[in-house]
Chains A and B, each alone.
Chain A
Amino acid sequence: MRRVIKAAAIATAATLGLVACGGGSDSGAGGNTELELMVPSYGDKTKPYWEDLVKAFEAKNPTIKVKLEVQSWDDIYKVLDTKIQGQKAPDILELDSAGPAYGKEGLLFKADEIVSPATLADVVPAFVQSAAIDGTAYGVPTVASTRALFYNKELFAKAGIAAPPKTWDELLDSAKKISALGDGVSGYGMPLGNEEAQGETSIWAYGAGASWGDGSKITVDTPQATEALTFMKKMIDEKATQADPGATNRTPLINVFIQGKIGMITGLPPVVGQIKEKNPALQWAIAPSPTKDGKPATLGVADYFVGFKKDGKKQEAIRKFLDFFYEKDNYVKFNDNEGFIPATKSGGEAAAAKPELKEFIDALPGAKFYPATNPAWSTASGAFKQLVGQIQTKPAPDVLKEIQAKVDAGG
């Protein structure tokens, strides 16, 4: 008896060992495929959503097992770099445009290889192209967001402002009027602390027609950007913003807006849900981001699914899973959960029915994206976070030069 157990133990160990040698992936005994899925966490609802989706998918496709890994935005880049260096990239990855950027190194399937033609045709073309590298799309967009101006209607009425500002000059004027109300109220909330300074700066710079370069070179120090930063400084100097914008982070400042102490602030679609939850009594509305001359422009951000090629054997399974994800019900639920704008036409129709998302969807054609397919953008983004707030005390052109120097040194 003991010998039998021993033999069984050895056999089990050997089998396990063999499976481990096979990379723990592809063909087990019954032709099963294991997919590793790595996604970032947007909030509390992210993980339960994926767990449910994986369960539903596995019920439909018994031969495919999906191993889910949810990472925080803070960690996901580090975890991913380590995995890729160790030849253990996930099969499916959701990430911002840093995901499609791996296509440059030949690690990825092309977008049309990981979803069916029908799914791809449903995605808004501008989004597919937004992270294309040299014309080739590697990522399929999952969520999208644009920015818009949230304003406090009550404070607008008190300050006697009829309509939300369209141009910078109107913005400055309205903000000054609201700041003049006193009682701790600020006109415009400008978060330039290290949380997301690159976002606020980009909205202003894009509003002056600037761009941060392209896939091959990042250029920060341009005349348009200088103009934008100079105007931001003017807003600060004329006390149209809250005190110390240089060191104010976005999330706490949006909370102050929700408390009704700020006249205007730039926000994302999820802020709508936050206001409803935290202060439903707030009288607010959304308008397009003001620009230099009123021409629509704002910052757009999208996240993408990419498929890692590795030995190329799992393409079929990846496609099955992603097609399942983009089925209308699953996909709309995903965007509802996170409060973002869907990137598919069918999803967009569902979202357009919600009035609070309308401004964000309308802003899509004028939205400009970060040049995040360029690896140097991460350095530029880091430099913005650390340095751009200095416009509060230093001349704007000097600050831009300092950021450009960082980008150039980061190489």
Chain B
Amino acid sequence: MIDPTAAPPKARRRKVTRESTLQALPWLAPALLLIGGVVVYPAGYMFYTSFRDISRFGTDLGWAGWDNYGKVFALGHLPRVFLNTAVWVVGVVLISVLVSLVLAQFLNKTFPGRTVVRLAVIVPWAASVVMTSTIFVYGLDPFYGVINQFLVDTGVMAQPYGFLKNPVSGFLSSAAVAVFVSVPFTTFVILAGLQTVPGDVLEAAQIDGATKAQTYWRVVFPMLRPALAVAALINVINVFNSLPILRTMTGAIPGYDADTTTTLTFKIIQGDRQIDTASALSVINFLVVLIVIAFYLRIVRPMREV
């Protein structure tokens, strides 16, 4: 049996929705234009460039098909660079989140001078990444670095070591700096998450006789899930695309043993002057981030309600 009055309200509602979308457009337009101009257009242009043959001087020499992608996959050092990238992203994000969990817990307690400590945590975040990295470059210098000097004076090392002059130690030092600059943001996201945990839930856990560890793992931690999801996702993207730290700290190391896909892209542009190949690598980079995030959302299901 068909109810003749059932369809019109639905249609009307759809019409209303369409009208209100149209009405909202003037207010959305600036944002849309901005997104189109600074996100969609450059990304689209990058895809386009990755299929063109571009000369050293930037002249477009025509269609290149998959040649640029072929060149990227023919690079002998690519496996090492991908491995580096994986270690870089997983290592930096994991350590940042672990450190931040502890730090946020600490900052959530009331103690005298808490505001000052909270402000101090923000400092590495507020400072320019290039500046922070440069400070470490000087500190770790084998000739006049204070960190090297300290390690020698305290007897940890017999003589200064060129931390940023060897691929493995340079890479690890850069990762440490990456953690250092990622921790503030992560901490504050988790801290915000901690403050959403209602006091009565904690009280209830106490009344039920839960130990401190049980309270944390069974009550607090599950409620941090959305905050952790945001912190981890944004960190993955940031760390994956991070250029300045590695560029500043390991840029002088010859070869590609301390490179991630992002710094390799930069070297292809700057050193080899191959804008087309670099675009292809950027597209691959972009796809890898998308896949990583898709897997993350699928497997960890961070947004699932508790």
Contacts and interface: CB of A to CB of B under 8 A. Distances in A.
A62 interface: no
Interface string A175-218: 00000000010000000111101000000000000000000000
A132 to B, nearest CB: 21
Given A243-B162, A382-B273, A388-B254, A410 B143 contact: no
B164 interface: yes
B57 interface: yes
Contacts of B160: 184, 243
B252 A247 contact: yes
Contacts of B165: 243-244, 246-248
A247 B273 contact: no
Given A85-B58, A390-B255, A410-B56, A383 B143 contact: no
A261 interface: yes
A392 B144 CA distance: 22
Interface residue range, chain B: 20 to 34
B252 A249 contact: yes
A243 B142 contact: yes
Interface in B222-280: 251-255, 267, 270-274
Given A261-B143, A375-B56, A379-B56, A247 B254 contact: yes
A194 B71 CA distance: 23
Given A184-B143, A244-B142, A406 B272 contact: yes
B110 interface: no
A59 to B, nearest CB: 38
B285 interface: no
B143 A385 contact: no
Nearest to B141: A252
A36 to B, nearest CB: 20
Interface in A228-261: 242-244, 246-249, 252, 256, 259, 261
A386 interface: yes
A382 B270 CA distance: 8
Interface in B270-294: 270-274
- Majority DSSP secondary structure for residues of B touching A: loop
Contacts of A388: 254
A392 B56 CA distance: 30
Contacts of B170: 247
Contacts of A259: 143-144
B271 A195 contact: no
Interface in A74-113: 81-82, 84-85
A269 interface: no
A249 B141 CA distance: 11
Contacts of A139: none
Contact of A383 (B71, B166, B251, B272): B272
Nearest to A74: B270
B52 to A, nearest CB: 15
Contacts of A244: 142, 162, 165-166
Contact of A386 (B71, B164, B267): B267
A193 B56 contact: no
Given A85-B59, A375-B56, A379-B56, A246 B272 contact: no
A389 interface: yes
A387 interface: yes
B248 to A, nearest CB: 12
A247 B250 CA distance: 8
Interface string A374-411: 01001100110111111010000000000000100110
A327 B167 CA distance: 51
Contact of B254 (A375, A386, A409): A386
Interface string A217-229: 0000000000000
Contact of A379 (B71, B159, B253, B273): B273
Contact of A247 (B144, B162, B270, B271): B162
Interface string B126-146: 000000000000000111100
A389 B254 contact: yes
Contacts of A382: 270-273
Contacts of B252: 193-195, 247-249, 389
A379 B272 contact: yes
Contacts of B253: 193, 246-247, 389
Contacts of A243: 142, 160, 162, 165
A75 to B, nearest CB: 12
Please indicate which of the listed interface residues B165, B251, B267, B273 has the most CB atoms of chain A within 10 Å of its own CB: B165
B255 A389 contact: yes
A195 to B, nearest CB: 7
Interface string A358-385: 0000000000000000010011001101
Contacts of B271: 382-383, 385-386
Contact of A246 (B56, B254, B270): B254
A67 B251 CA distance: 36
B211 to A, nearest CB: 51
A194 B59 contact: no
Contacts of A246: 165, 253-254
A387 B272 contact: no
A228 B108 CA distance: 62
A182 to B, nearest CB: 10
A193 to B, nearest CB: 4
Contacts of B255: 386-387, 389-390
Contacts of A247: 162, 164-166, 170, 252-254
16 contacts: A85-B58, A184-B143, A193-B252, A193-B254, A243-B142, A243-B162, A246-B253, A247-B164, A248-B162, A256-B144, A259-B143, A259-B144, A386-B271, A389-B253, A390-B255, A410-B274
Given A246-B254, A247-B252, A256-B144, 6 more contacts: A244-B166, A252-B141, A259-B143, A379-B272, A409-B71, A410-B273
What are the 10 A-B residue pairs with the smallest beta carbon separation, nearest first?
A389-B254, A244-B165, A193-B252, A382-B271, A247-B165, A244-B162, A247-B253, A247-B252, A390-B254, A386-B271
